[in-house]
Amino acid sequence: DAGVTQSPTHLIKTRGQQVTLRCSPKSGHDTVSWYQQALGQGPQFIFQYYEEEERQRGNFPDRFSGHQFPNYSSELNVNALLLGDSALYLCASSLFTGQRETDTQYFGPGTRLTVL
Amino acid sequence: AQSVTQPDIHITVSEGASLELRCNYSYGATPYLFWYVQSPGQGLQLLLKYFSGDTLVQGIKGFEAEFKRSQSSFNLRKPSVHWSDAAEYFCAVGPMNNFNKFYFGSGTKLNVKP
């Protein structure tokens, strides 16, 4: 049973460009959350997708957008890249059961984005 | 506002020694608390979680954590550290009304001396 997978592993972009990161959730999961982890920091919540809709959003500008597909996979898009967007982007998946005790997130290995 | 503080950025312990990693949180309601471990090139792996009930929580890999409401703390412990425990450890708080919108601490990097 594959866990959460993310692609690509590493990515280098220049300022002003746009980037798309991809995530496939763990089998059986229907909810995907995205986090940004800057160097030396803990992950910060970007947004969460459930039933193909953005359900929650953290304190990130509109340059950060996402999408969830019918197969529950998800994309994170970042427009007009800034140097400060350089970070590890983590995807996490879970199954929405409505029960706090069982809604456990599983994280992927992340995509390392470098903006030059 | 919700926040998580991990006061120790780096900790070095000898293999076989005991370990305690500190975590303090600030949250306006009943917190749901988590500890994750991150090895280089790996995603975050859940070690343990606390929702309610017994304040001493057992996790994987021999880790445990104790919730102390009066101190707003959720410290992680292990009686005997192994070299493979060297990694970065993150404490996180999850709000009651959003199951997966976690607030993470900045992490504690653990080094293990042979």
Q: Which CATH superfamily is domain A19-97 in?
A: Immunoglobulins (2.60.40.10)
**Nearest Cβ partner for A100 among B41, B51, B90:** B51
The CATH code of the domain that includes B75 is 2.60.40.10
Q: What is the three-class DSSP state of A95?
A: coil
Q: Measured between alpha carbons, how far is A62 from A79 in angstroms, rounded to an integer?
A: 9
Contact B100 A41 (CB under 8 A): no
Total count of domains within chain B: 1
Mean pLDDT value across chain B: 90
Q: Which residues pair with A47 in a beta bridge?
A: A34, A57
Asked if the peptide bond before residue A8 counts as cis, ω within 30 degrees of 0, the response is yes
Q: What HEC string does chain B produce?
A: CCEEECCCCEEEEECCCCEEECCEEECCCCCEEEEEEECCCCCEEEEEEECCCCCEEECHHHCEEEEEHHHCEEEEEECCCCHHHCEEEEEEEECCCCCCCCEECCCEEEEEEC
Q: Note the pLDDT of residue A11.
A: 96
**Nearest Cβ partner for A45 among B44, B101, B107:** B101
**Encoded tokens for A22:** 């991809």
Per residue of chain B (114 residues), give pLDDT as tens. 778 999 999 999 999 999 999 999 988 777 889 999 999 877 899 999 998 888 999 999 999 999 999 999 999 999 999 999 999 999 998 865 565 578 899 999 999 999
Q: Note the pLDDT of residue B100.
A: 59
Cα B90 to Cα A23, A104, B102: the distances in Å are 22, 16, 11
Mean pLDDT by groups of 10 residues along chain A of 116 residues: 89 97 95 93 92 91 97 97 97 80 80 96
Residue-range definition of the domain harbouring residue B67: 3-113
| Nearest residue on chain A to B105, alpha-carbon basis | A42
Contact A33 B101 (CB under 8 A): yes
Q: Note the pLDDT of residue A47.
A: 93
Q: Which residues contact B60 (CB under 8 A, 6 or more apart)?
A: B46, B47, B48
| Nearest residue on chain B to A50, alpha-carbon basis | B100
Q: Measured between alpha carbons, how far is A87 from A34 in angstroms, rounded to an integer?
A: 12
**Encoded tokens for B93:** 């708080």
Mind listing the pLDDT tens digit for each residue in A67-84? 999 999 999 999 999 999
